[in-house]
Amino acid sequence: MTDPVPTGGLEAWRGFLAGQGVSDDEAEPRVAAVREEAQTLEEAGLTAEEAFSVAIRRHADRDPLARRFAGPPRRWPSSGTPGASTDARRAILASTDPRRAILAAIGLAVAAAAAVKLPELFGISFDSPAADRFYLRNLSLLILPSLSVWVAWRQRFPRPQILALLGVFLLGAVLINGIPFAAGGSTETLAAIHLPLALWLAVGLVGSGAESGNIVGRRLRFARFTGELLLTLPLLGLGGLILVGLTIGLFGLIGLEAEGFVERWMLPAGAAGAIVIAGFLAETRRRLTGQLAPVLIRVFSPMFAGVLVVFLATMAWTGAGLQPDREVLIGLDLLLVLVVGLVLLHVAARDEEAKPGLFDGVTAALVVLALIVDGIALGAIAGRISEFGPSPNRVAAVGINLILLANLAGSGWLLLGFLRERAGFDRLRRWQAAFLPIYAGWAAFVIAVLPLVFSFA
């Protein structure tokens, strides 16, 4: 099932831009911005015609060409047209009001900041003896609810999805705090690392199950939003560091030390609130200026491919084997996760109707190189298990590497078929979307089952 956006309207908009002398590279962000807006509105209950009409007019506020394309304002279709009711239309348009979005984002950011400081009322401050284990387990449970509320509000989750998401968060809180982990054990650390992944994927999976809209499109849009969010966070972090330095410097000029305030309040509360603000900025930037992810994919995919080529060539030239140290394997797994993330973002951000291009070939080459590296990593992990026996870290590493191997193998096969024009791009979109619940299921296994297998050690 393809995305519900009216293809004819998008093609007419693309053709109009071409007729105005706009190049394909310059036109694609404009088309993508209208597509994103129309998809959101249609999933909320507008008909395809209404969604495209509203989307192009919103784009017209900042693009003179869109203003010329849209023409004079038109009335809503008659009440007999299938779609949202008049009241529903008003609610949809009100919930996408930029002013309301700004106020909601600020309010949720304040809520996240307050949640991080709330444990201090119960004697759990950041410098208390119990702080390390408490925040290791619960930090994601303090911050992610505010960001999840933002996503649920913007995507207009129906009530059953909201209740299901609440149940997931409650279950996560019970598991991470109820399992009798050994102090300082590997299973506790692994569960704490996988909990935010499981919770965040649950937000995307629960939202993709809404009644009005296709699951594949919703999952990939959630993946694209996640990528934009992760790209926005470092920018906010850099601004936050400048603000911290400025605060300390200014108060120092009048003889006051602000380090204590910065450490106890500004840094933890600011970091928590910044995650929600990053979600707001990621969505706003995408709608105003197009997506940042496709641009960075075109930059980083060739760079990652180059690094893997040099790495593999050096191994072959020197005859050196992969050192099976835990730190090395962790770094290699992170590299593979980044590669899979780049492939997912490429699939989620790409226009599925476009013909195969240069960067599809670059992505296919990156996948093949990552497959080789993943095979080497699995061999090294198997060697450690054979020599030292299974452990929580080794089992977790084998599991995620096998999942990444399956993802990369299927992606490579489908990409090659698409490049040879023997398969449509939609098959690759469906393949990537199908892996989101697999990642969530593995994270849940590491949280709830792996500690039991290894006696909570």
Could you please report the per-residue DSSP string of 383-402?
HHHHHH---HHHHHHHHHHH
Whether 260 is in a domain gets the answer yes
- Alpha carbon distance 115, 430 (integer Å): 37
Block residue for tokens 């309301």? 100
- Alpha carbon distance 148, 319 (integer Å): 49
Block residue for tokens 């790409």? 350
Say whether both 246 and 346 belong to one domain: no
Whether 184 is in a domain gets the answer no
> Tokens at residue 415, please?
């990409």
**pLDDT confidence band for 93 (50 / 70 / 90):** low
Does residue 127 or residue 75 have the better pLDDT? 127
Whether 208 is in a domain gets the answer no
Percent of the chain with pLDDT over 90: 32
Final residue in a domain of this structure, among 91, 117, 147 = 91
Say whether both 229 and 250 belong to one domain: yes
Say whether both 267 and 390 belong to one domain: no
Which stretch, 5-14, 165-174, 227-236, 276-285, has highest mean pLDDT? 165-174
Mean predicted confidence (pLDDT) in 450-455: 92
pLDDT at 125 (0 to 100): 79
Query: At residue 337, what is the residue type?
Result: V
Q: What is the largest CA-CA distance in the chain?
A: 74
- Alpha carbon distance 35, 220 (integer Å): 14
Percent of the chain with pLDDT over 70: 85
Q: How many CB atoms lie within 10 A of CB 326?
A: 13
Instruction: Please say whether the beta carbons of 350 and 294 come within 8 A.
Output: yes
pLDDT beyond 70 at 80: no
pLDDT beyond 50 at 83: no
Whether 439 is in a domain gets the answer yes
- Alpha carbon distance 228, 235 (integer Å): 11
**CB burial of residue 314 (10 Å; 0-12, 13-18, 19+):** exposed
Block residue for tokens 């008049």? 86
> Tokens at residue 423, please?
């398969």
- Alpha carbon distance 203, 155 (integer Å): 11
pLDDT beyond 70 at 81: no
pLDDT beyond 60 at 290: no
Whether 207 is in a domain gets the answer no
Say whether both 24 and 135 belong to one domain: no
Mean predicted confidence (pLDDT) in 67-79: 57
Say whether both 35 and 111 belong to one domain: no
Query: At residue 313, what is the residue type?
Result: A
Mean predicted confidence (pLDDT) in 139-168: 91
Whether 183 is in a domain gets the answer no
pLDDT at 286 (0 to 100): 59
Could you tell me how far CA 99 lies from the centroid of its own chain? 24
Say whether both 18 and 78 belong to one domain: yes
Say whether both 66 and 162 belong to one domain: no
Mean predicted confidence (pLDDT) in 312-335: 76
Whether 297 is in a domain gets the answer yes
Say whether both 25 and 172 belong to one domain: no
Rg (the chain; Cα; Å) = 24
Domain span holding position 233: 97-176+190-200+213-289
pLDDT beyond 90 at 177: yes
Block residue for tokens 């959101």? 40
Say whether both 55 and 145 belong to one domain: no
Residues in the chain: 457
**pLDDT confidence band for 228 (50 / 70 / 90):** confident
Final residue in a domain of this structure, among 249, 264, 289 = 289
Quote the number of domains for the chain: 3
Say whether both 249 and 105 belong to one domain: yes
- Alpha carbon distance 169, 175 (integer Å): 10
Final residue in a domain of this structure, among 54, 73, 91 = 91
pLDDT beyond 80 at 187: yes
Say whether both 423 and 436 belong to one domain: yes
pLDDT at 180 (0 to 100): 93
- Alpha carbon distance 405, 198 (integer Å): 20
**pLDDT confidence band for 82 (50 / 70 / 90):** very low
Average pLDDT in the chain = 82
Instruction: Please say whether the beta carbons of 295 and 28 come within 8 A.
Output: no
Whether 205 is in a domain gets the answer no
- Alpha carbon distance 457, 25 (integer Å): 54
> Tokens at residue 319, please?
């005859």
Closest CA to 394 of 96, 187, 159: 187
Say whether both 380 and 249 belong to one domain: no
pLDDT beyond 80 at 87: no
